[in-house]
Amino acid sequence: MRRLPAGVVSLLISGGSGTTTFAAIDINGRRDIGISIESATNVTTGTVDIDNSNSVSGIVAFLISGQTGGSLNFGTTTINNNGAGSGIAVAIESSNATITFASGSNITGTTTTGFNVNQGSGSITYNGAITNTAGSAVSVTSRTGGTVAFTGNINSSGGGTGITVGSNSGGAIVNFSGSTKSISSGSSTGVNLTSNTGATINFTNGGLAITTTSGTGFSATGGGTVTVQGTGNSINSSSATALNVNATTIGGSGLTFQSISSSGTSKGISLNTTGSGGLTVTGTSTTDGTGGTIQNITTRGAEFISAQNITLKNMNFTNACTADFPAAPTGHSLGNNTADNAAIHLQDATTVVLDNLNITTSAEQGINGHNVNGFTLSNSVLSGLGGGPDEDGLHFYNMVGTCAITNTSITSSGDDNVNIQNNTTPSLRRPRPALLISPGAVLTQVFWEAGFCSASGARATRRSTFRAPPSTTTSAAVSWPIVLIPLLWM
């Protein structure tokens, strides 16, 4: 158990397994610790009110520690830490008890952490709101089991990390289900989830709104399972990565955001090794830009590596790749495009849906793909992507599975607007690739290689202009829709 600051305790309950009951507790103007429950395993109270006005800096208002089991039930609990100089409002240390705070509980005025849970495996439910104007709202660390549930609203505007969940294991679960989870963390990470192998963290019921300046918006790294569910979730990081998920599994319910925006950093969105769960950015209806704007990014506006089920809708990628590296891309036909920068980078990605995107201006690739299984691009405009040889609007090595380009314009690329080169080695022969180009697509300077041909069996022109008519009528050049499949297939 971590050593907490010593102090004069207003109410101390220490040891014993008998039931201790209070009709109500009211501590006004405490000097140090308001309530300390040490190892006592059965406590029940009515309302609890702790006013922190005379507190010494850094002292916990409500400390619970050392329970080996039992049940602690508190009525509606109100803690006002009264701003500067105050310590943690609620600290639960190494407790295996089942702990419940009644509906309507409220924590305000903290400048360090509103609700801190460290170690232990007992289930904890806090049915109340947390508001802090400095420091952090919630920290849950080193748990080895049990569920910690925050059912009320969280408003963290203090510039510190709003929510921290770290080093949990053993099937521990942390749930945030309040309808409002508003975090403004400035230069700190908004939500920081680290090294939670074996643990699961869920944000449900929507309303997760993260705003940062130079701090990452939402970061989940080093293990565990995470979901963000419901409507109205958003991230806006003005000079930092908005969303970073690395070596952490996205759960079956996925990550769902209405909008994600990022600017002035190396990567706007980064998913790497995230399991079978996916990311969905919805935007609003079919309105341009309502899914967020990724702009003025040096290397990759969004990258998805070893990721599945990616859907981006109604987003703008503007100048989302300002660095040309490598300056002269080579070896595309050998699959040497994994280091390329791009507005959107897809690598070992499965089931990617891009709908109503505006992707404009890139120093290298527009959409760069390497071993992509299932790709749909629709209702989108791509222009001004790339500035030299082998810098393309769509630049793919191995586009397999069922793929489609629909009602999309790709123009003014550095080299080819569409460049797809497929390897037909045995390891990549399944699933069978097929690219459907439907009416409404405007594709000029298209490059197909490695055995692609039209469904009629005639090899497609290596560099052609495909301009779809407004309907499925036949033009002089080609019938629409076109299905491209490989000639060399075993």
- List the beta bridge partners of residue 199: none
pLDDT above 90 for 40: yes
Task: State residue 28's pLDDT score.
Answer: 84
Q: How confident is the model at residue 419 (pLDDT cuts 50, 70, 90)?
A: confident
pLDDT above 50 for 468: no
- The residue ranking higher by pLDDT, 451 or 186, is 186
Q: How confident is the model at residue 452 (pLDDT cuts 50, 70, 90)?
A: very low
Task: State residue 475's pLDDT score.
Answer: 31
pLDDT above 70 for 474: no
Task: State residue 56's pLDDT score.
Answer: 58
Q: Which residues contact 225 (CB under 8 A, 6 or more apart)?
A: 199, 200, 201, 248, 249, 250, 251, 275, 277
pLDDT above 50 for 470: no
Q: Do 261 and 292 touch, CB atoms closer than 8 A? A: yes
In this prediction, residues 396-422 reach a mean pLDDT of 88
Task: State residue 3's pLDDT score.
Answer: 42
- pTM, entire model: 0.90
Cα radius of gyration rounded to whole Å, the chain: 27
Task: State residue 399's pLDDT score.
Answer: 87
Task: State residue 336's pLDDT score.
Answer: 86
| Mean of per-residue pLDDT scores for the chain | 86
Count other C-beta atoms under 10 Å from residue 406's C-beta: 18
Secondary-structure percent of the chain, ordered helix, strand, coil, rounded to 5: 0, 50, 45
Interval 329-344: pLDDT, tens: 666 667 789 999 999 9
Interval 228-252: pLDDT, tens: 999 999 999 999 999 999 999 999 9
- The residue ranking higher by pLDDT, 485 or 446, is 446
Task: State residue 471's pLDDT score.
Answer: 40
pLDDT above 70 for 77: yes
Lowest-confidence segment of 38-52, 83-97, 311-325 by average pLDDT: 83-97
pLDDT above 50 for 294: yes
Task: State residue 133's pLDDT score.
Answer: 86
Quote the tokens at residue 448: 């197909």
Distances (CA, A) of 226 to 198, 203, 220, 250, 480: 11, 8, 8, 5, 42
Interval 257-288: pLDDT, tens: 999 999 999 999 999 999 999 999 999 999 99
